[in-house]
A and B are shown apart, each in its own frame.
Chain A
Amino acid sequence: MEFPKDLKYSKEHEWTRIEDGKAIIGITDHAQEELGDVVFVELPEVGSEVEQMGTFGVVESVKAVSDLYSPVTGEVLEINEALKEEPELINSDPYGDGWLIVVKISDEDEIDALLSVEEYEAFIKEEKK
């Protein structure tokens, strides 16, 4: 299982890539593995507001339905339209083509609350016990 070093992570298994005040958000390799084949994703509308640790959508697999939690607060700038037709991108490329949304970060301090890759790996180890 792969966890890129340059990303931030959350306990709800989302990853965040921070670029010029924007947060690109997806779910981790671990999350997609646990969910199994993703068949549907419900994403917010561009222009809507999301809150840190508030739900912004739903991901549905053949065996479970889970809420998606936003790692940061801000306005949704983009959503991954490709997932409408190909939700399986979340399984095949969770850190690349399987990204979910881009949020304009409204409070940089919130990033401190997110986990580093080491902290996240320790967290899933703990969760598995």
Chain B
Amino acid sequence: MRYIPNTDDDCKEMLRAIGVRDVTELFTDIPEKIRLKENLKLPSALSEPELKSHLNLLSEKNAGTEYISFLGAGSYDHYIPSVVEHLVSRSEFYTAYTPYQPEISQGTLQGIYEYQTLICQLTDMEITNASMYDGASALAEAVLMANRINNRKEILISQAVQPEYRKVLNTYTRSLDLEIKEIPFTKNLLTDSNEVKMLVSSNSSSVIIQYPNFFGSIEDIKKISEAAREKEALLIVVVVEPIALGILKPPGAFDCDIVVGEGQVFGNPINFGGPSLGIFATKEKYVRNIPGRIVGATTDKSLQRGYVLTMATREQHIRREKATSNICTNQSLCALAASIYLSTLGRRGMKRLAELNLYKANHVKKEISKMRNFSVDMSIPTFNEFVVRSKLPLEKVNEWLLQKNIIGGLALSRFYPEMKDSLLFCVTEKNTKEDIDIFCRVLGAL
């Protein structure tokens, strides 16, 4: 897409064409008293060398590689192979606008098609859309889709689902005729499957759990799936740390209906919390209810393989207010990064990576369990995140760690006021043996 600047003459001509004398006349609908009548208070323009040195000064304020991180809770620090950035930066892909016209965009469309295929393989689901904004909005869309399918009004969501995801879901459903009920978790930090059995009824549209859950614990999907199935409620599984799928049984193996998740971990940096990548996979029988775009493979008139958007009659430009979703775009570049990342690692690489995360996290768990001021429940099966209970005030612990250039865990009291003594730590393959030794030494000395 080109940037087309308008000259003063262009502007005048356009205003004349629509019969307006001045640009300000276009804003007459905005009440006079709240209109800004002066210029924005911005510093005067800098020359290029001045600007560069100013930006350098700003960038030096950022924390750099001198910090080691043990924080997860929704965004995860994984190594990104340089091939990812190299390929996604190619000008054919690096555009703010995703061109979908098959005549000019076979590369982009094939990239999306490969992404859909990889996510299907990873989750063991039948279909995947071209991606969504992020994991949280993908979850909200999944809930709306379940409601479209069974027309039931009640949503059961585990309290062990990422709290910010639950907030986004509340925002999406606030003005709809849907009721959200929360499922409590047990002492083992797992969704209480007995509660699911008690709560689920013929009014339940969907049952939502996270895998591994917000506390890092591996949910027993089978039990919950059976309870949901009995009342014909749809099971939605949220995967916020899908590196875990390198070794965990895929959610599709438990007959769940929709898998949503966050694909940031696949080759996308954390940045300041975005952009991220919403994963959305489901069963083929629901294809006409799925939100977002889908790319399909076909053959052209000379029988060559080609890629096109398909099943588009669900979408806004055709179905208007009856469309399955307001989403008519996708996170193409992030999805492409995910495709490159996944195909670089391959099936075996993903398994090895997941094992590394698991082993390192388990090693740290064991070390912490020996400390006098901290404890870990070793009986809870976890992946690369786990809850640590502290005898010391949580803010103090993180403050001390930060003084030693260590970014500590999430104080769970922020989202769960009753969990006053609990920190959520994350260990990934990026934490070297040296990092882990330093971390354990510092924490153990507290």
Chain A contacts to B: CB under 8 angstroms: 40, 42, 60, 65, 67
* Closest Cβ neighbor of B289 among chain A residues: A42
A40 touches B288 (CB 8 A): yes
B319 touches A65 (CB 8 A): yes
A52 to B48, CA, bound (A): 69
Chain A hits for B288, CB < 8 A: 40, 42
Chain B hits for A60, CB < 8 A: 313
Chain A hits for B313, CB < 8 A: 60, 65
A60 to B310, CA, bound (A): 14
A-B contact pairs, 7 of them (CB 8 A): A40-B288, A42-B288, A60-B313, A65-B313, A65-B318, A65-B319, A67-B322
Chain A hits for B319, CB < 8 A: 65
Chain A hits for B322, CB < 8 A: 67
A74 to B101, CA, bound (A): 45
User: 7 shortest A-B CB distances, which residue pairs?
Assistant: A65-B313, A60-B313, A65-B319, A65-B318, A42-B288, A40-B288, A67-B322
Chain B hits for A65, CB < 8 A: 313, 318-319
* Closest Cβ neighbor of A45 among chain B residues: B151
How many interface contacts (CB-CB < 8 Å) are there between A and B?
A: 7
Task: Tell me the minimal C-beta distance from A49 to chain B in angstroms.
Answer: 12
The residue among A40, A42, A65, A67 with the most chain B CB atoms within 10 A of its own CB is A65
Q: Which residues, 310 to 328 on B, are CB-close (under 8 Å) to A?
A: 313, 318-319, 322
Task: Tell me the minimal C-beta distance from A64 to chain B in angstroms.
Answer: 8
A67 to B313, CA, bound (A): 12
A42 to B318, CA, bound (A): 16
* Closest Cβ neighbor of B323 among chain A residues: A65
Task: Tell me the minimal C-beta distance from B278 to chain A in angstroms.
Answer: 25
Q: Which residues, 280 to 335 on B, are CB-close (under 8 Å) to A?
A: 288, 313, 318-319, 322
A42 to B286, CA, bound (A): 12
The residue among B313, B318, B319 with the most chain A CB atoms within 10 A of its own CB is B313
A60 to B311, CA, bound (A): 11
Chain A hits for B318, CB < 8 A: 65
A40 to B313, CA, bound (A): 11
A65 to B312, CA, bound (A): 11
Task: Tell me the minimal C-beta distance from A62 to chain B in angstroms.
Answer: 10
* Closest Cβ neighbor of A48 among chain B residues: B151
Task: Tell me the minimal C-beta distance from B71 to chain A in angstroms.
Answer: 46
Chain B hits for A42, CB < 8 A: 288
* Closest Cβ neighbor of A61 among chain B residues: B313
A40 to B319, CA, bound (A): 14
A40 to B312, CA, bound (A): 13
A102 to B190, CA, bound (A): 48
Chain B hits for A67, CB < 8 A: 322
Task: Tell me the minimal C-beta distance from B269 to chain A in angstroms.
Answer: 40
Task: Tell me the minimal C-beta distance from A78 to chain B in angstroms.
Answer: 20
Task: Tell me the minimal C-beta distance from A123 to chain B in angstroms.
Answer: 24
Task: Tell me the minimal C-beta distance from A35 to chain B in angstroms.
Answer: 12
A67 to B322, CA, bound (A): 10
* Closest Cβ neighbor of B322 among chain A residues: A67
* Closest Cβ neighbor of A67 among chain B residues: B322
Task: Tell me the minimal C-beta distance from B55 to chain A in angstroms.
Answer: 50
Task: Tell me the minimal C-beta distance from B149 to chain A in angstroms.
Answer: 11
Task: Tell me the minimal C-beta distance from B290 to chain A in angstroms.
Answer: 14
Task: Tell me the minimal C-beta distance from A4 to chain B in angstroms.
Answer: 30
A11 to B288, CA, bound (A): 27
* Closest Cβ neighbor of A55 among chain B residues: B322
A65 to B321, CA, bound (A): 12
Chain B hits for A40, CB < 8 A: 288
* Closest Cβ neighbor of A65 among chain B residues: B313
A40 to B318, CA, bound (A): 15
A2 to B322, CA, bound (A): 32
Task: Tell me the minimal C-beta distance from A66 to chain B in angstroms.
Answer: 10
Task: Tell me the minimal C-beta distance from A63 to chain B in angstroms.
Answer: 10
A67 to B319, CA, bound (A): 10
